[in-house]
Structure formats: structure tokens, C-alpha cells
Amino acid sequence: MTKKRIGQTFFERGRMACAASRFGGFVFAVLQIWIFPTSPQYAVPIQGLVIIAALYTCLKILQPPDWYQMPRANLGLFAIDIGICAALLMLTGGIHSPFLLYTLTPVVAAALMLPARTTAVIAGMTGAYVFALFIRYSSPSFSQSVSAMNDFPFYLVALGSAASLPYLINSYSRQRFQSATIIGERRRLSREIHDGLCQDLCAVRWQVEDLRLQAGSDGLVAGNLEQIEKLLEEMEKDARGSLEFLRGFKARRPFVSEIDDYLRQLGADTGIDCRLEPQTREPGLDELVETETLHICKEALRNAVKHSNARRITLRLATRNGYFQATIADNGCGFDTGRPNRGQGLTVMSERAESVGGRLEVSSAPGAGTEIRLEVPTKWSQPPRAARPSGSLLPTTTR
């Protein structure tokens, strides 16, 4: 699913939520008028006002979707909405108006459809005119004034909730939806690789094997074909390993168990001493963060096995201040981190880390082994991090 389709899906959900909140606010006002027909005293006939409010509510619910996507027009519509809500409040008793809850509907709509700063401005305007009407229509009676003063703080709490909760819920839902979409797309890509690339590599390898057998006594040709066959076999193994990376990890065991099993299998296959120094509990990573972290850790371990000639590889895990750290160290040959054309592996791993708000650092020197340090937030958020937390286990500059 493309980013445009994701945005369209949440736009439609936001419209439905706006319509539901507005309809609910209107129904609550009508019920209050019906149950308490003489309280408060209304400045105009209430039946006509209810009809006007009902027509306006229907108009807002049926508002064309394109209007929400025109910035200037949309802000103008919100300004009109705030004005109508203020008029309803002014004509029906101020702070005691049955339409008091209805005044929150522009704020809810802004929290669902507009940026956070615009929502804060609309919430501030709403609170300002409600407070102004509270002062304007304060009763000379001391007991009624005290009652109104007690009601106003509750309204402010409701106003703050209307401005923040829909925004937070919508933001969290969008991140979860995007995470699931990314993982689903990777699963689709893994199926295409399996049905295409892997099958083609396998077929070519068989053809090369057949040619090698036909070469017979020609040792030079047979030797070259054998090298090509081994290369194709290695490529097929890498492609199938990539399939595991691309597939979702939802059905697997917890992170520490997953990476521990991978290390054990790696050690058994290569004879290298692969050690895990785990934390005492699972890190509790979000699904997308956990998937990317597994990608990076496994890729780093595979690179160490392939290129370092190490006798020992150690993986250390830790969690601190809402961030998860993984350090992969080997005692192999090392390399010069400053040399150009180091390959795309480290670049891809670094991009994976940055995609979930993390970072990757590499320390190595010829003959001194290699250490790769990964740090990612335990909870994924779409915007990049502006600053690192105090007490971070990793330095702020890459060595």
C-alpha cells in the first residue's frame, strides 16, 4: 500500500470520527433541552435554534471531502464553525448552555484533521470565547456564580482532552498501520524473490552442474564451472537468507530467544565461538523496530563470519532510558573504516537504523577486530529524533 493510500485511509477515518463527534454533541444538546426545558433561560425560541443547529450539523457531516484538503478554505470553515458554536453558546445561556459540549466538535475535528499547532490555536480560541461568555453572563447570585466557576475547570479539562486525545490516538494508529503496511509489503516482496530470483538461481546452478559433468576430462573448464557452481550456490543461500529478513517475524519467538538461536546455529555451522550476553528480560520493542533490529544484527553477524576471519564473535544487549542497544564485536582482521568503497552492507544497515529513529556506529582498524554498535528506540515514532536522551550508552559522534 502506498503512502498516498495510507493517508487516504486515515483521512476517511478522521472524517467519520468528526461526523460521529458532531452528531453526538448535537444529540446530547437536544436531550438536555428535552429533559430541562426551562433551564437555562434562552434568548431566542429554542425550537428554532435546534432546527438551525440540526441543519448546520447535517451540512458539516455531509461536507464534501475536497473541502478538508484545501488549506485556506479549510481554515475559513473552521473559523465559521467556531463562530457558530460561539453564537449557539451566547444564545442559550453561556456556560450552562446545552450546546456547551457541541463547542468541542471543532476542536475534535482539528485534532483529527489538522497539524498540532493549528489544533492548539483552535482550542485556545474556543477556550477564550467560552471564558468570555462565562464572564459576560455571570449571574449576580453568589451561589450560581460559584456553580459556574466550578463548571468552567471541568470544561477546560474536556477541552484539553478533545484537543490532545484524538491527535495522540490518531498518531499512534497511523504508526501502527504504517508498520503493518511495511511488513506486509516486505512479505509480498519475499514471495516475489522466492518465486523469481531463487528459482532462477537454482535452475542456473543445475545447468552449470550439468555442464561441468559434460566437460569430463577437461580439468580447466570443469574447475571453472565448479567455481561458478559454488558461487551460484552461495548466491542462492544469500537470497534465501534475505527471504527470512523480508518476511514478518510475528510468528517467531521473543527477540532474545530468536537471536540466541541464530547465534547457536551460526556457531554450529562455522565453528566460530559465538556468544550472547543478553539482558535479563525482553526489550519490548515495537514490531517494526524489532524487525529492523533483527535485520541489522543478523546482517552484522553474517558479515563478521564472512569477512573477519574471527575466532570469536560476541553480541551484547542492553536497554536504557527507552533505548535498546546491541553491540556486535569480533576479534578478526578488522578493516580501515576510512577507506572508500567499503560496500553497501554498512550503508544499508545504517539506513535501517535511521528508518526507526536509531543509529549505527562502526569501530574497526586493521588487525584490531570490529565493533558495531546499534541503538534504537524501543517504541517507533515516524519523525526523526531531535536529540538523544541523557545517559545514552552510545556517543553522539561516529568513530
Taking Cα atoms as reference points, which of 282, 290, 280 lies closest to residue 377? Answer: 290
219-246 and 142-193 helices, crossing angle to 10°: 160
pLDDT band at 375 (very low <50, low <70, confident <90, very high): very high
* DSSP-derived secondary structure letter, 346: H
Q: Are strands 359-364 and 370-377 parallel, antiparallel or unpaired?
A: antiparallel
pLDDT band at 179 (very low <50, low <70, confident <90, very high): low
265 and 399 inside one domain? yes
Alpha-carbon distance 192 to 243, whole Å?
10
The mean pLDDT of 364-373, rounded to a whole number, is: 88
273 and 388 inside one domain? yes
pLDDT band at 385 (very low <50, low <70, confident <90, very high): very low
Q: Can you read off the three cell numbers belonging to residue 382?
A: 515516524
Alpha-carbon distance 185 to 247, whole Å?
9
268 and 124 inside one domain? no
262 and 385 inside one domain? yes
50 and 162 inside one domain? yes
The mean pLDDT of 110-121, rounded to a whole number, is: 82
Taking Cα atoms as reference points, which of 112, 126, 113 lies closest to residue 160? Answer: 126
Alpha-carbon distance 269 to 306, whole Å?
12
pLDDT in tens, 269-293: 888 888 887 666 778 888 778 888 8
Amino acid 31 reads L
pLDDT in tens, 248-265: 444 456 888 888 888 888
Residues 332 and 271 sit within 8 Å (Cβ to Cβ): no
Edge-to-edge strand list for the sheet holding 370-377: 273-277, 312-320, 323-330, 370-377, 359-364
Residues 375 and 396 sit within 8 Å (Cβ to Cβ): no
Query: Which pLDDT value is given to residue 383?
Result: 44
- Bridge partners of 371? 329, 363
Highest mean pLDDT among 130-144, 307-321, 381-395: 307-321
In a domain, 396, yes or no: yes
* DSSP-derived secondary structure letter, 274: E
258 and 169 inside one domain? no
- Bridge partners of 376? 324
Contacts by residues 43-48 (CB-CB < 8 Å, ≥ 24 positions apart): 43/90, 43/91, 43/92, 44/91, 46/92
In a domain, 345, yes or no: yes
The mean pLDDT of 175-203, rounded to a whole number, is: 68
Last residue of a domain, one of 147, 178, 209: 178
Residue 288 neighbours by CB under 8 Å, 6+ apart: 179, 182, 183, 356, 380
The mean pLDDT of 213-229, rounded to a whole number, is: 73
Residues 321 and 344 sit within 8 Å (Cβ to Cβ): no
172 and 259 inside one domain? no
The mean pLDDT of 168-176, rounded to a whole number, is: 64
The mean pLDDT of 169-185, rounded to a whole number, is: 64
Number of domains, the chain: 2
What are the distances in angstroms from CA 85 to CA 24, 47, 91, 104, 265? Answer: 15, 17, 10, 9, 66
274 and 377 inside one domain? yes
Region for 326 from its dihedrals, namely left if φ exceeds 0, alpha if ψ lies in -120 to 50, beta otherwise = beta
In a domain, 183, yes or no: no
pLDDT in tens, 51-90: 999 999 998 888 876 776 677 777 888 889 999 998 888 8
pLDDT in tens, 324-354: 999 999 988 888 777 665 566 788 888 888 8
Q: How many CA atoms lie within 13 Å of 332's alpha carbon, on the beta-carbon side? A: 25
In a domain, 184, yes or no: no
Range of the domain at 262: 254-399
In a domain, 208, yes or no: no
Q: Can you read off the three cell numbers belonging to residue 379?
A: 517504541
In the predicted model, what is the mean pLDDT of the chain? 76
Amino acid 86 reads A
* DSSP-derived secondary structure letter, 96: G
The mean pLDDT of 300-313, rounded to a whole number, is: 86
Residue 183 confidence (pLDDT) above 90: no
Query: Which pLDDT value is given to residue 12?
Result: 72
Alpha-carbon distance 258 to 272, whole Å?
19
Query: Which pLDDT value is given to residue 2?
Result: 47
Query: Which pLDDT value is given to residue 280?
Result: 62
In a domain, 205, yes or no: no
Residue 110 confidence (pLDDT) above 50: yes
Enumerate the H helices of the chain as residue ranges.
Answer: 3-35, 46-61, 65-68, 71-91, 105-113, 116-136, 142-193, 199-215, 219-246, 255-270, 287-307, 345-355
13 and 125 inside one domain? yes
In a domain, 278, yes or no: yes
Alpha-carbon distance 330 to 310, whole Å?
6
Residues 221 and 215 sit within 8 Å (Cβ to Cβ): yes
Q: How far apart are the first and last CA of the chain?
A: 38
265 and 118 inside one domain? no
Last residue of a domain, one of 156, 178, 200: 178
pTM beyond cutoff 0.75 = no
Alpha-carbon distance 252 to 183, whole Å?
14
In a domain, 305, yes or no: yes
CATH of the domain at 338: 3.30.565.10
43 and 160 inside one domain? yes
Query: Which pLDDT value is given to residue 388?
Result: 42
Last residue of a domain, one of 145, 178, 211: 178
311 and 162 inside one domain? no
